[in-house]
Chain A
Amino acid sequence: MQHSNIFDYKKYRYFKWAVVVILIAFAGYLLFEPAVGHYGGSWLGYGLGTLSALMVLWMAWYGIRKRRYRSSGSTQGWLSAHIYLGTAMTVIVTLHSGFHFGINIHTLAYGLLLIVVVSGFFGNYAYMIYPRLMTENMGEDNLDGLLLRIAETDKLARQIALLMPDDINNAVARACRETYIGISLMEQLRGFRADCPSALAVQQLTVLGNNVVAEQRKLYRDLYSIMVRRESLVRRVRQDLMYRARLGFWLYFHVPFTVALLVAMLAHIVAVFLYW
């Protein structure tokens, strides 16, 4: 049986490659120092620069590759390489710059690259921890199923509540009407709502229970347990949306900044050749 994750893919093949690439780059950097010091325009600088530019293109190509389902080979291998070689490339780009930073298009491109890379690291972290937590939260259920169940408990709770005193009915109706789940990105990332009407309704119901007349006690207990169940469903859905958001939100940096990086890199190259 073959099973490995993106890090130990093919016994750390791309990790080894990355190490080799970094070592070679460093060796070059140390061995061939131009008289004027390191800079992008030396032949070593050109070499490293060309290599990095190609690698950036190749990194960006991953976004296309992973959607080309008819291509051969495995996407997992690509991602493993993407991560290791992407990291190695960052080192190479840094060496390529010769540590000459300033307020110019070149440093802008470098900065964008760093944003892409850092967001990539965050993505890695997210991929490592959230899947397990998501399974713990959801078990064998799925989001659609839970939402359906909430809708169904809503219906049931409202029906029962109609038979109860007004204050209880109002609390339930309000919970069913006003509970909304994760609208804004921030809310999704946070994963809970302090003033969640569903939680509130359960609290209110606990208090209001004292006023229920004897004949309605059984009904009240039913309603109460339905509302408790409903609240935990709502909580699980929020939690799931939170994990989903956290698994995905870094891509809002990774991808747009990739596009920005490509543009900046083009400008950087054009600038170097025109004004050098």
Chain B
Amino acid sequence: MPEHFNIIIIGAGPSGLSAAIRASEQKVSYLLLEAEAAPASTIRNYQRGKLVMSEPRGLPIRSPLPFTASLRETVLETWERTIVDFQVNVRYEAKVVSLKRGKKWLEITLADGSKLTAEHVVLAIGVQGNLRKLNIPGGDLPQIQYQLDDPQAYQNETIVVIGGGDSGVENALALTGRNQVIILNRAEDFSNCKDSNLSQLTEARKNGALDWLLETRPQSIEGNAKGEFPITVFANTPNGIERIPCHRVIARLGALPPRPVLEAFGVAFPTPDLEALPLLSSRYESNVPCLYIIGSLAGYPLIKQGINQGYEVIEYILGNPVEPADTALLREKFANFCTDRGVDDVLEKIRKSVPLLAMLNTLQLRELVLESNLLLSQPGEYIFKRNDYSTTFYFVVEGELDVLIDDDNVTDDTLKSGDFFGEMALVSGRRRPGTVRATTPCVLIETPRRVMQKLIGSVPSMRRMLNEVAIKTVVQICIGLSLSEQDLNDLADNATLKSYAAGEELFHEGDEADGLYLIQSGSVTVSRMIGGREVVLFYVAAGKYVGEMSLVSGEPRYATVRAAIATEAVLIDAGRMSDIIARNPEIRSELDARYLQHLQDQEKLQQQEASSDSSSISGNQSTPSNLISFLIQQGVGEATDVLLIDESLCVRCNHCEQACADTHGGATRLDRDAGPIFANIRVPTSCRHCEHPHCMKDCPPDAIHRAPHGEVYIDDSCIGCGNCQQNCPYDVIQMAVIQDQPERSLWQMLLGVQPKALPTIDGAKVAVKCDMCKDIKDGPVCVRACPVGAALRVNPEELLSYAGGKSAEAALLGSGEE
């Protein structure tokens, strides 16, 4: 007969602990299960001495589990004390391996085979806990570890790192110098790594600082009774088994995504998207009755949220009505709007007025409103203007607005209660195609792209609806406004949305033409084979189309089109397009004109490429196509603003970096002398302000934003978790302590003395990156501080779409004034 409890809580992270403590206060029969030997393994794995921050700031904590911003060590200590004080009924090293709905109760099996039953189960296992372990003989020896807290702690050891991903490589690099390091990589190269890691790795190997074995898997590990090395790894290499005696193994095999685990427990997901969140009721109950999911596993990425949910879920299970902790925040949000009603009523009203929001369940709607801005605008107020960068999406709850697409100040469209707008933010991250202005007093919900994206991943009906709208918008933007409503709908209904990974082909030179491709997001390069090598002719950004050449001429594809970065395109098939062209002479003539223009441009470019081929002196030729390829490699294809250094002017005075540091808390946001060079142009290590910033992807407090003019910046709610640093493919984010810099007085400058540093306020390391000096009146100081004008910021759209005439270098450096 298995042991039975009223409530079993799985996972002793902040969420699970909070639930257990509340259960203990409420004196119900409960058990807390934790896979590891100590509570809160996620927090335990933070680096030593990290300041654990308590975001979102306004959210009150209502659980008896104490939590304030403090050092990792303090947090853990406090929690351990609380566990003792409340005599929490916890079982360590009790990893749950299966969970299913039995006849009467939920049945749980632990890794050691023991079984338990419960009326209610709270699942709070987080998303970090599922580190993949070494599943080989000897994989459980004490010298094997899955984390590297403090690389400084190891000296003069031989260390085997298993795993050729970024985390493995970063660990290995951190250990070089003081230790002998060997990486085992089961792939044939390190192509999954970030470029910067890759180059450091190659460098380190060239210098003999580390070594690696490719296509190699560990087979077993044995302890050694005597000798210098405590263990020996037996590795299966292409040349047979190799013995590697060593002191320590660090295995970085990645984490298992939580979804398969949940699915094995019977939890349903709304879409096949791996990112989708489990379906939950407003009381955190999943589709498996009496199975509750809270914390980061349920999609709430911060500690405070998890702690509150731990409390709430116990109350819900006991049938006690509680107001969710975030109600206070919602009430504050609604303070200027509908003060006469309760929060729930207001939410209901919002749901009733906006059909798109009616597709959400209560939990999702609360979350959306919490993360959004509630805007009350007056007649005549601009919501946004044409050419602002788009990052947010709007729902109209009340009121009416005008849409102005061109500059003529004539209304092109109106929006009213229940409508939504700003879908370009979801699509391409580029500039707004039109201006929106309130005509009556309005109530709007402004939602960040990230939140919408999360919802689109979880709510299929919303995804379908937004997709349709997006296709229509793209057709309108690419082909123009001249289509009739009917043609537009017809096109949109029959268009297909296609996604391409970076480098993938949309179509190939010589293919039969299948239709017109409207680039919805990302960008593509157009290339041809010239003299036996692929030469990039053009770069085409989102909002334009490709494939019209063959459509007009009826011949096979003239060039190859390839995604420069992850790209989405809307394909309109050839038949329908010819039909539309036949009925719309305007479109016909535009396509014809573009066709002729393209022919001319291509001819010119080919001449240039050919002549530079014959006069081939060095490999580093600055033909336009080489420069375009180079810049695209450097991520300029997805950038909205890049810093370049003209190395033929730069006098290496470093004033650019000093100016940046001086105006940005003492930490420079650019590294002038690191970064690739082509034709005297260096792309230094500095933020490219990507269209879809990778850094924003996984920021727990949502501290990374995009300003209307495109600047991607980090606000002061950063908790220093380092996710963005990991996610940025260009390595431009660093962790640093920000400290306001005193202004040097004239005398100090003349005498060369350093001013007294301002008193240190808060020593926590946070993520820092370029904010394009958005708060400084005259714009980027790096550019303005450069005495010789070597530092310049460019807009890649202009830069890359350049084709023809001058040499690429001349184009880049062309002294055209604004």
Contacts and interface: CB of A to CB of B under 8 A. Distances in A.
A135 B777 CA distance: 33
B812 interface: yes
Contacts, number: 117
A1 B208 contact: no
Nearest to B659: A69
A143 B674 CA distance: 11
B788 A135 contact: no
Nearest to A149: B207
Nearest to A145: B203
Given A66-B787, A72-B778, A74-B783, A11 B749 contact: no
B647 A8 contact: no
A218 interface: no
A95 interface: no
Interface string A192-216: 0000000000000000000000000
Interface in A137-159: 139-140, 142-143, 149, 152-153, 156
Interface in B155-203: 203
A36 interface: no
Contacts of B799: 1
Given A64-B750, A66-B787, A75-B785, A5 B677 contact: no
Contacts of A3: 646, 789, 792, 812-815
Interface in B763-816: 776-778, 781, 783-790, 792, 794-795, 798-799, 812-816
Interface in A1-59: 1-6, 8-11
A9 B790 CA distance: 12
A75 B781 CA distance: 10
Interface residue tally of chain A, by bracket?
35 or more
B141 interface: no
Interface stretch (B121-129, B144-152, B356-364, B648-656): B648-656
Given A3-B792, A6-B787, A153-B207, A142 B674 contact: yes
B66 interface: no
A135 B662 contact: no
Given A64-B750, A142-B674, A152-B207, A69 B658 contact: yes
Contacts of B813: 3
Given A3-B792, A76-B786, A79-B787, A8 B655 contact: no
Contacts of A153: 207
Interface in B636-691: 646-652, 655, 658-659, 662-663, 673-677, 680, 682
Interface stretch (A126-134, A180-188, A268-276): A126-134
Interface in B69-111: none
B680 A127 contact: no
A1 B749 CA distance: 34
B788 A6 contact: yes
A76 B662 CA distance: 18
B816 A79 contact: no
Contacts of A64: 746, 749-750
A1 B818 CA distance: 7
B209 interface: yes
B677 A139 contact: yes
Contacts of B659: 69
Nearest to A243: B652
A150 B787 CA distance: 33
Contacts of B786: 74-76
Nearest to A9: B789
Interface string B710-745: 000000000000000000000000000000000110
A156 B743 CA distance: 47
B749 A131 contact: no
B817 interface: yes
Interface string B510-523: 00000000000000
Given A66-B655, A72-B777, A131-B649, A4 B743 contact: no
B663 A69 contact: yes
A10 B795 CA distance: 20
Contacts of A79: 787-788
Contact of B209 (A2, A132, A135, A152): A152
A2 B652 CA distance: 21
Contacts of A10: 817
Contacts of A72: 777-778, 784
B515 to A, nearest CB: 34
Given A5-B788, A64-B750, A244 B798 contact: no
Nearest to B676: A140
Contacts of A73: 778, 784
A4 B778 CA distance: 18
B680 to A, nearest CB: 6
A66 B649 contact: no
B617 to A, nearest CB: 14
A75 B784 contact: yes
B817 A75 contact: no
B66 to A, nearest CB: 43
A247 interface: yes
B648 A132 contact: yes
Contacts of A156: 207-208
Contacts of B203: 149
Contacts of A67: 655, 744, 749
Interface string A58-84: 000000101111101111101100000
A131 B778 contact: no
A76 B789 CA distance: 6
B815 A4 contact: yes
A228 B358 CA distance: 73
Given A64-B749, A66-B655, A69-B785, A135 B812 contact: no
Given A1-B812, A2-B818, A131-B648, A69 B746 contact: no
A4 B743 CA distance: 30
Nearest to A247: B651
Interface string B199-238: 0000100011100000000000000000000000000000
B789 A4 contact: yes
A65 B315 CA distance: 65
A232 to B, nearest CB: 14
Nearest to B674: A142
Contacts of B651: 127, 130-131, 247
A5 B651 CA distance: 12
A69 B680 contact: no
A40 to B, nearest CB: 29
Contact of B675 (A5, A66, A140): A140
Given A140-B676, A152-B208, 14 more contacts: A3-B646, A3-B813, A3-B814, A6-B788, A64-B750, A72-B778, A74-B784, A74-B786, A74-B789, A131-B651, A134-B647, A134-B652, A135-B648, A149-B207
Interface of A: 1-6, 8-11, 64, 66-70, 72-76, 78-79, 127, 130-132, 134-135, 139-140, 142-143, 149, 152-153, 156, 244, 247
24 contacts: A1-B794, A2-B815, A2-B816, A2-B818, A3-B646, A3-B789, A5-B789, A10-B817, A69-B655, A69-B663, A69-B785, A70-B743, A70-B776, A74-B784, A75-B655, A75-B786, A79-B787, A131-B649, A131-B651, A134-B647, A135-B648, A139-B677, A140-B675, A142-B673
Interface of B: 203, 207-209, 646-652, 655, 658-659, 662-663, 673-677, 680, 682, 743-744, 746, 749-750, 776-778, 781, 783-790, 792, 794-795, 798-799, 812-818
